[in-house]
């Protein structure tokens, strides 16, 4: 009467599951060590049941936790744990965040241009959006540069030229058209960035 | 309160074990290479150093990565081949270093634990 479940296999599967945060190579090594231990013990103590051997080995979660702790120390910078600290967290914001920060304030100021203080807030949010875009892991360096130029630099330069020089035609209608063109460029660039993001 | 006390004692023992276990494992290999199950038996017999067996393997893996031990497979008369752990030169050096530090450490702790405490003079 052999049951189809194999306690040893279940046990090793549990260790594998609990140790999923471990680099694959380290995890396989741990599983091989445990499997070897079980085999050797079985050969040395034929009377011991698989259940006894596994109970002596201990809780899979404890073993996995120990393995994770050991992987964290001992100066093994090549492992996933060497880089699992702060550097990975940086740039892990959702790709939509910088794009919305670049686009929405521009949209709002285009239509609410006479609200005091709004332009300053909008400018700060757009700069923050540009920084997030540059530190994001979702785009290549080239795309980041193109994105920042088209969504931040170009509209800002155009705005300054428009206000500070006399090349622009006077009147509200041309200004609105220019703003809509700039908005289209910003929104179009954001859409392009969104569609070309890496997961 | 009894169960709480025993949990605290177990935690204190686990903390102490964490610091010294790897040197005890290295010491077990001083005279000859040993295989995993053998190392675990020796630790178990010691009593205080007995630990959940499976947790020793991640430790052995680290010792291997840090090049303090090397491993070789050896056939066995009974059952599967065993992976034997042996000290490397740097493993031996680490063990010697610990052997020098340990007596002073142990004596210092003993000094604090035994009464009367030499520095316990409480200025009235």
For chain A, the structural domain boundaries read 7-85, 96-195
Is B50 inside a domain boundary? yes
Taking the Cβ of residue A26 and every Cβ of chain B, the question of whether any pair is shorter than 8 Å is answered with yes
Is B94 inside a domain boundary? yes
Query: How large is the ipTM?
Result: 0.83
pLDDT band, residue A77 (cuts 50/70/90): very low
Asked whether residue A9 carries a pLDDT value surpassing 70, the answer given is yes
Asked whether residue B58 carries a pLDDT value surpassing 80, the answer given is yes
Q: Do B55 and A36 touch (CB under 8 A)?
A: no
Q: Do B61 and A33 touch (CB under 8 A)?
A: yes
Q: What pLDDT does residue B4 have? A: 66
Taking the Cβ of residue A38 and every Cβ of chain B, the question of whether any pair is shorter than 8 Å is answered with no
Is B37 inside a domain boundary? yes
In this complex, the residue of A39, A63, A71 whose CB is nearest that of residue B79 is A39
Taking the Cβ of residue A37 and every Cβ of chain B, the question of whether any pair is shorter than 8 Å is answered with yes
Number of domains within chain B? 1
Residues A43-59: tens digit of each pLDDT: 999 999 999 999 999 99
Is B29 inside a domain boundary? yes
Is B118 inside a domain boundary? no
Is B76 inside a domain boundary? yes
pLDDT band, residue B38 (cuts 50/70/90): very high
pLDDT band, residue A79 (cuts 50/70/90): very low
Instruction: Find the range with the poorest average confidence among A21-25, A137-141, B108-112.
Output: A137-141
Is B119 inside a domain boundary? no
Q: What is the 3-state secondary structure (H, E, C) of chain A?
A: CCCCCCHHHHHHHHHHHHCCCCCHHHHHHHHHHHHHHHHHHHHHCCCCCHHHHHHHHCCHHHHHHHHHHHHHCCCCCCCHHHHCCHHHHCCCCCCHHHHHHHHHHHHHHHHCCCCCCHHHHHHHHHHHHHHHHHHCCCCCHHHHHHHHHHHHHHHHHHHHHHHHCCCCCCCHHHHHHHHHHHHHHHHHHHHHHHHCCCC
Q: State the count of interchain CB pairs (< 8 A) between A and B.
A: 79
Asked whether residue A67 carries a pLDDT value surpassing 90, the answer given is yes
Q: Which residues of B touch A (CB under 8 A)?
A: 35-37, 40, 52-55, 57-62, 65-66, 76, 78-80, 82-83
Residues A23-35: tens digit of each pLDDT: 999 999 999 999 9
Q: Do B53 and A37 touch (CB under 8 A)?
A: yes
- CATH number of the domain within which B97 lies: 1.10.10.10
Is B124 inside a domain boundary? no
Residues A90-106: tens digit of each pLDDT: 457 788 888 888 888 87
Q: Which residues of chain A make contact with B78, given a CB cutoff of 8 A?
A: 43-44
**In 3D, which of A35, A25, A100 has the Cα closest to residue B65?**
A25
């Amino acid at each position: 009467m052999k049951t189809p479940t194999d306690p040893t296999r279940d046990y090793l599967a549990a260790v594998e599951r609990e140790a999923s945060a471990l680099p694959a190579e380290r995890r396989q090594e741990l599983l091989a060590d445990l499997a070897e231990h079980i085999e050797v013990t079985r050969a040395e103590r034929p009377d011991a049941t698989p259940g006894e051997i596994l109970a002596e080995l201990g809780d899979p979660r404890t073993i996995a936790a120990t393995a994770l702790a050991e992987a964290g120390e001992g100066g093994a910078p090549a492992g996933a744990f060497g880089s699992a600290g702060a550097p990975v967290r940086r740039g892990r914001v959702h790709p939509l965040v910088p794009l919305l920060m670049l686009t929405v304030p521009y949209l709002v100021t285009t239509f609410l241009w006479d609200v005091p203080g709004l332009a300053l807030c909008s400018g700060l949010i757009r700069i923050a959006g540009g920084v997030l875009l540059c530190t994001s892991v979702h785009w290549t360096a080239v795309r980041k540069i193109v994105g920042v130029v088209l969504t931040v630099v170009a509209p800002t330069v155009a705005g300054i030229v428009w206000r500070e020089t006399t090349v622009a035609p006077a009147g509200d209608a041309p200004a609105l058209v220019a703003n809509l063109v700039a908005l289209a460029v910003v929104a179009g660039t954001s859409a392009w960035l969104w569609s070309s993001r890496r997961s | 309160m009894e169960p709480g006390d025993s949990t605290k004692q177990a935690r204190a023992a686990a903390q102490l074990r964490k610091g010294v276990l790897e040197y005890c494992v290295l010491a077990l290999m001083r005279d000859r290479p040993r295989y995993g199950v053998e190392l675990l038996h020796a630790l178990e017999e010691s009593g205080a150093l007995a630990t959940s067996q499976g947790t020793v393997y991640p430790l052995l893996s680290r010792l291997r990565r840090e090049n303090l031990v090397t491993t070789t497979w050896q056939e066995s008369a009974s059952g599967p081949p065993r992976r034997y752990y042996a000290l490397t030169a740097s493993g031996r050096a680490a063990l010697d270093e610990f052997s020098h530090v340990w007596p002073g450490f142990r004596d210092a702790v003993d000094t604090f634990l035994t009464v009367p405490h030499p520095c316990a003079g409480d200025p009235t």
